[in-house]
Amino acid sequence: MPQIERLVVEALTDYASPAAAQNIVNRTLRRAGVHPDDLSAGDWASFIRGPLMGELTQIFPLREPTGALRRLLRSLEEAAATEPYHPGSMPESPSARSTLILPKREVNFGVDEARERFVNELAREEGVSGVVLQGPDFQEIRLPGLEDLAPILNVVHKLLQKQKPYKLYYSVFQEGQVLVRSLGPSLVALVAKREANLGRLMHVLNSFEAKGGQS
């Protein structure tokens, strides 16, 4: 793996697991139609500001690079200032050109029927193979063939809450992708196939808020 690509992946672990971070970078490079070996420091800076941020804003509540990614971008731009000038041809990310906008929808998790409708709606999304909803005194699980994932996802949720407040966590595993969101006092998780439209699934999850304004 090229050195700069490794640094980009490491920076993305602020937002996702290492495997998921690598998956995001690979997918964005492929969609942008570029090979990491062909990119200069300036090209990488353009890639981060353009296609990669377009991809990240589809998945996470980000508007600009933060943390390690921002520091890396600054270093790349400083390095690019010493490179010989050549016109760039970095294409715009398709995801940056089209963003799914959904209205906020409130869910009352204190009502059995509302929880069931919520879980069933998520389960019907294209590419979704399982849904987990767990709260202080309820749980709704739709994980055919993957029932052992439910307690693991609950542990991940609790660990993330202890480390720092989080809104969303994304990772990949052998069977596909997993998305974990804190929604009020509850855990919501989607298990999706590898080919599922991650951007759409994240926008669908982010469109919900728990009754009482806890989102």
168 and 128 in a single domain? The answer is yes
pLDDT 10s digits, 152-183: 887 877 777 776 666 778 888 777 888 888 88
Distance CA 77, CA 41 (A): 7
Distance CA 190, CA 168 (A): 11
188 and 109 in a single domain? The answer is yes
**Token pair for 211:** 């009754």
Count up the domains in the chain and report the number: 2
pLDDT 10s digits, 69-115: 999 988 888 887 765 544 444 444 444 333 445 677 888 888 999 99
Count the alpha carbons within 13 Å of 146 in the hemisphere toward its beta carbon. 23
125 and 153 in a single domain? The answer is yes
**62 falls in which pLDDT band (50, 70, 90)?**
confident
Decide: residue 207, CB within 10 A, 0-12 exposed, 13-18 middle, 19+ buried: middle
Confidence at residue 142, expressed as pLDDT on a 0 to 100 scale? 87
50 and 117 in a single domain? The answer is no
118 and 159 in a single domain? The answer is yes
Amino acid identity, residue 194? R
Question: The CATH number of the domain where 182 resides is what?
Answer: 3.30.450.30
**58 falls in which pLDDT band (50, 70, 90)?**
confident
pLDDT 10s digits, 107-146: 888 899 999 999 999 999 989 998 999 888 888 888 887 7
**Token pair for 128:** 């979704």
Judge whether 215 lies within some domain: no
Confidence at residue 90, expressed as pLDDT on a 0 to 100 scale? 44
pTM for the model: 0.55
Judge whether 11 lies within some domain: yes
Structural domain range at position 131: 105-210
Q: In the block, which residue shows the tokens 């439209």? A: 197
Distance CA 67, CA 21 (A): 15
